Chains A and B, each alone.
Chain A
Amino acid sequence: MLGLNSHDLKMFIVIAILTLAAPILLNPFPDASALGESFNAGYPALMQRFVIFGILVIGFNLLFGLTGYLSFGHAAFLGIGSYAAVWMFKLLSYNIVPAILLSVIVAGLVSVVIGYVSLRRSGIYFSILTLAFAQMMYAIAYSDLLGRMFGITVTNGETGLQVYNDDPQILMSAGDPTVPHLFGITMNGSSTWNVGGWSFIFQNGYYLSAIFMIAAFYLSIRIFRSPFGLMLRAIKSNQTRMHYTGLNTKPYMLAAFVISGMYAGLAGGLLSAMDPLTGAERMFWTASGEIVVMSILGGVGTLIGPVLGAGLIKYLENIVSKINDGILHNWFAFMPDWLDNLLVTIIHPFIGKGWHLTLGLLFMAVVIFLPGGLVEGGQRIGRLFRRKKSTDAANGATKPAE
């Protein structure tokens, strides 16, 4: 069905169901409970980040996972997408259709240029070239160099680009909502379902992003399984050999780069559609580093890994940085006081503002012990169980023969 084999179809359906049911699944604890305050993630702002960064990392994985070219400047395309979308809001109207279309197109065009230049080199040189381009674009956006050159506002510098009342918005008619909307359905509109101690929030913006992510995921499965994907993997395993067979690998690489740039542009456009303002910090190299971290954590070169990685990092970021000493004392209240204080003192550097320390350690641990990321971890556990089962089955099979 859908042109997928049964294994992929199963995975696709699971992802689709998980994404669509996320507002319920991510709120396992009643809202008012202590656990709910700390661990619930089913609120729209966070879920939007899950799926939007999911799109971004799925796109990044199409480049890094399939071809092995490590781009250290992917956040630049995210930023370009965001700026393009906000400009559409400023010029046309708050309707998100032109905004998202333009963000994908502009990111695609820029990635053609950057990709054409950067792909002339490989290995670390490629990484540094993409990093250099991204840092250049960050500097241009941060100080609005383009704008200063022509005497207009392009990125609005460090203030960030946003929509003002005196913007033209030529397609805007009187009754239109003044927030991003899809033909009248506002992105921040939501309906709430109260059951017992729970209240589940279903937000329009989240569902729009979720549908985009499911589509992006479907497309990435198709690309992975297509002859084109096979070609990219061949390039990864032995590019020289591909050259010897008389194949020009450049167009394939460039296509992969541009597709992944367009994914990032889509993610940027969606970020702006959720919240119509953007700033240069989205393009800073730490943002690019975060994309790399997400995809490594999930599992590079696997289909489902990037989604898991993006979700896990955004979840942990939110949860770990929310925990403070008071919450810890609550958790450890059953222990003797000295042990409670000792544990809190030990854990203190890792929570709240120390979230990046936890992230760094987790990242190192994954790179050292689990090079294949979470997906490999899952497979190892799965194999462990299967082996047990198969030995059981073997025992069962031999018994009657005795």
Chain B
Amino acid sequence: MDALLIQVLNGLDKGAAYALIALGLTLIFGTLGVVNFAHGALFMIGAFCAVTMQRILNISTSVIDETQTDFLGNPLKIETPVIQNWFGPEMGAAIQDWSVPLSVILVVPVMFFVGYAMERGLIKHFYKRPHADQILVTFGLAIVIGELIKAFYGANPIQTPAPAALSGTIDFGTWFGFEAGAVLYPAWRLVYFLFAGAVIAAVFAFLQFTTFGMVVRAGMADRETVGLLGIDIDKRFTLMFGLAAAVAGLAGMMYTPILSPHYNIGMDFLVLSFVVVVVGGMGSLPGAVLAGFMLGILQSFASMNEVKAIIPGIDQIIIYLVAIIILLTRPRGLMGRKGVMED
């Protein structure tokens, strides 16, 4: 029983990442009708915002202290991070420690701007072109963004640790009445799951309970009529693109302590999140979230040793296998609507 609980928990954080990316993809597809192959790149930009934040917080001033020498006999250089000069050593160190969650102040505006610029600068011109062209141009953009990241940050993964307070493990089992030590779970993964849940809830609430969200939903259902009512729906859809980019960026930012970001991380996640979107059903927001968590948890079950003993390597193919089975039995995915992307 506790083994099962561990697998469910292990699947949650990965599932949460899939769900967040798939949610953004579906938002873009549902509003603008564009298949965005560059969405993984947005995830990656978010992750590298966290890296940048870490570097900003570590900018130091160095003072040469003539009275002390290092082991080579040269005068000792004392580096003090600027942030510690401003807030005092303890507060400054705490801020540095919390650099990943603090990146949120960088991620949200940056991602929103990137999304906005991407839609206005590039994707706007592709509404009337076939879906294949949209796939291709965003695929090209994803290559370009990935390579730019590689040029600036190098090809190696960059460590971005979680805050010390959250980098331990939680004895999760004791909460549910198992013996101590049976279900150990990294704290940050739980944080990630809760964070993802909060973001997903916020997006749904925003669409459901605000006037802006209501107009957007109306536009998703019938763009032309909303336009005829004198509402500038294009502007709102552009903002939704920015929102979707911000969601992807947040997902990437919070994932950095789990997986050190490198320039290919976007592509790795993109392929899987596309499978997630298609399994959930193109254009269905709940479907995307459901399929994200479902595939994440399935993958974690498939990587259990007991399962792998029966079918070796099933953990690497399970997602694709499930996608194939679902697409063949339920052509439009789990919760897809009729007539979406079938031309």
Chain A residues with CB under 8 Å of chain B are 68, 70, 117, 120-125, 127-129, 131-133, 135-136, 139-140, 142-143, 145, 148-149, 285-286, 289, 292, 296, 349, 354, 356-357, 359-361, 363-364, 367-368, 371
Q: How long is the Cα–Cα vector from A133 to B323 in the complex, in angstroms?
A: 10
Interface of chain B residues 295 through 343 with chain A (CB within 8 A): 311-313, 316-317, 320-321, 323-324, 327-328, 331, 341-343
Do the beta carbons of A70 and B320 come within 8 Å of each other?
no
Q: How far is the CB of B159 from chain A (nearest CB, A)?
A: 22
- How many chain B residues sit at the interface, stated as a range, is 35 or more
Do the beta carbons of A285 and B271 come within 8 Å of each other?
yes
B132 on the interface (CB 8 Å rule)? Answer: yes
Do the beta carbons of A357 and B324 come within 8 Å of each other?
no
Q: How far is the CB of A192 from chain B (nearest CB, A)?
A: 38
Q: How long is the Cα–Cα vector from A394 to B19 in the complex, in angstroms?
A: 65
Whose C-beta in chain A lies nearest to the C-beta of B278? Answer: A128
Could you jot down 18 A-B contacts, CB within 8 Å?
A70-B135, A121-B331, A124-B35, A128-B275, A128-B278, A131-B274, A136-B317, A136-B321, A139-B316, A143-B312, A148-B313, A289-B139, A354-B151, A356-B143, A360-B140, A361-B144, A364-B137, A367-B133
Q: Which residues of A contact B143 (CB under 8 A)?
A: 356-357, 359-360, 363
Do the beta carbons of A125 and B144 come within 8 Å of each other?
no
Q: How far is the CB of B172 from chain A (nearest CB, A)?
A: 30
Do the beta carbons of B343 and A123 come within 8 Å of each other?
yes
Q: How far is the CB of A219 from chain B (nearest CB, A)?
A: 25
Whose C-beta in chain B lies nearest to the C-beta of A68? Answer: B132
Q: How long is the Cα–Cα vector from A398 to B327 in the complex, in angstroms?
A: 66
Given A121-B331, A128-B274, A128-B275: A139 in contact with B132 (beta carbons within 8 A): no
Q: Which residues of B contact A117 (CB under 8 A)?
A: 324, 328
Q: How long is the Cα–Cα vector from A289 to B311 in the complex, in angstroms?
A: 30
Taking each of B141, B282, B327, B328, which has the highest tally of chain A beta carbons within 10 Å of its own beta carbon?
B327
Whose C-beta in chain B lies nearest to the C-beta of A358? Answer: B147
Do the beta carbons of A364 and B141 come within 8 Å of each other?
yes
Binary per-residue interface labels of chain B (239-272) against chain A in the complex, 1 for a CB within 8 Å, 0 otherwise: 0000000000000000000000000000100010
Q: Which residues of A contact B328 (CB under 8 A)?
A: 117, 120
Q: Which residues of A contact B139 (CB under 8 A)?
A: 289, 292, 363
Taking each of A123, A132, A149, which has the highest tally of chain B beta carbons within 10 Å of its own beta carbon?
A132
Partner among A125, A356, A367 whose Cβ is within 8 Å of the Cβ of B341:
A125
Q: How far is the CB of A112 from chain B (nearest CB, A)?
A: 16
Partner among B125, B320, B343 whose Cβ is within 8 Å of the Cβ of A135:
B320
Do the beta carbons of B147 and A128 come within 8 Å of each other?
no
Q: How long is the Cα–Cα vector from A120 to B326 in the complex, in angstroms?
A: 13
Do the beta carbons of B275 and A368 come within 8 Å of each other?
no
Q: Taking chain B's interface residues, is the majority helix, strand, or loop, or is none over half, making it mixed?
A: helix
Do the beta carbons of B147 and A360 come within 8 Å of each other?
yes
Whose C-beta in chain B lies nearest to the C-beta of A135? Answer: B320
Partner among A68, A124, A354, A367 whose Cβ is within 8 Å of the Cβ of B136:
A367
Q: How far is the CB of A43 from chain B (nearest CB, A)?
A: 27
B117 on the interface (CB 8 Å rule)? Answer: no
Q: How long is the Cα–Cα vector from A117 to B323 in the complex, in angstroms?
A: 12
Given A121-B327, A129-B324, A143-B312, 6 new contacts (CB under 8 A):
A117-B324, A128-B278, A136-B317, A139-B316, A143-B313, A357-B144
Q: How long is the Cα–Cα vector from A375 to B337 in the complex, in angstroms?
A: 38
Binary per-residue interface labels of chain B (133-157) against chain A in the complex, 1 for a CB within 8 Å, 0 otherwise: 1011101111110111011000000
Chain B residues with CB under 8 Å of chain A are 35, 122, 125, 129, 131-133, 135-137, 139-144, 146-148, 150-151, 267, 271, 274-275, 278, 282, 311-313, 316-317, 320-321, 323-324, 327-328, 331, 341-343
Q: How long is the Cα–Cα vector from A364 to B139 in the complex, in angstroms?
A: 8
Q: How far is the CB of A297 from chain B (nearest CB, A)?
A: 10
Q: How long is the Cα–Cα vector from A142 to B317 in the complex, in angstroms?
A: 11
Do the beta carbons of B140 and A367 come within 8 Å of each other?
yes
Q: How long is the Cα–Cα vector from A357 to B135 in the complex, in angstroms?
A: 18
Q: Which residues of B contact A70 (CB under 8 A)?
A: 132, 135
Do the beta carbons of A356 and B324 come within 8 Å of each other?
no
Do the beta carbons of A148 and B312 come within 8 Å of each other?
yes
Q: Which residues of B contact A135 (CB under 8 A)?
A: 271, 317, 320
Q: How long is the Cα–Cα vector from A123 to B137 in the complex, in angstroms?
A: 17
Q: Which residues of A contact B343 (CB under 8 A)?
A: 123
Do the beta carbons of B144 and A360 come within 8 Å of each other?
yes
Do the beta carbons of B327 and A128 come within 8 Å of each other?
yes
Whose C-beta in chain B lies nearest to the C-beta of A296? Answer: B136
Partner among B125, B131, B141 whose Cβ is within 8 Å of the Cβ of A123:
B131
Given A123-B341, A124-B341, A364-B141: A132 in contact with B136 (beta carbons within 8 A): no
Q: How far is the CB of A190 from chain B (nearest CB, A)?
A: 35
Q: How far is the CB of B38 from chain A (nearest CB, A)?
A: 10
Whose C-beta in chain B lies nearest to the C-beta of A139? Answer: B316
Q: How long is the Cα–Cα vector from A70 to B131 in the complex, in angstroms?
A: 10
Do the beta carbons of A128 and B129 come within 8 Å of each other?
no
Whose C-beta in chain B lies nearest to the C-beta of A120? Answer: B328
Whose C-beta in chain A lies nearest to the C-beta of B144? Answer: A360
Taking each of A122, A136, A349, which has the highest tally of chain B beta carbons within 10 Å of its own beta carbon?
A136
Q: Which residues of B contact A286 (CB under 8 A)?
A: 267
Q: Which residues of B contact A359 (CB under 8 A)?
A: 143
Q: How long is the Cα–Cα vector from A361 to B146 in the complex, in angstroms?
A: 12
Q: How long is the Cα–Cα vector from A18 to B125 in the complex, in angstroms?
A: 38
Do the beta carbons of B342 and A122 come within 8 Å of each other?
yes
Q: How long is the Cα–Cα vector from A122 to B343 in the complex, in angstroms?
A: 7
Q: How far is the CB of A299 from chain B (nearest CB, A)?
A: 13
Q: How long is the Cα–Cα vector from A122 to B332 in the complex, in angstroms?
A: 11
Q: How long is the Cα–Cα vector from A167 to B342 in the complex, in angstroms?
A: 50
Whose C-beta in chain A lies nearest to the C-beta of B125? Answer: A368
Q: How long is the Cα–Cα vector from A117 to B324 in the complex, in angstroms?
A: 9
Q: How long is the Cα–Cα vector from A68 to B130 in the complex, in angstroms?
A: 11
Q: Which residues of B contact A356 (CB under 8 A)?
A: 143, 146-147
Do the beta carbons of B271 and A131 come within 8 Å of each other?
yes
Taking each of B150, B278, B321, which has the highest tally of chain A beta carbons within 10 Å of its own beta carbon?
B278
Do the beta carbons of A292 and B136 come within 8 Å of each other?
yes
Q: How long is the Cα–Cα vector from A68 to B141 in the complex, in angstroms?
A: 22
Q: How long is the Cα–Cα vector from A145 to B311 in the complex, in angstroms?
A: 9
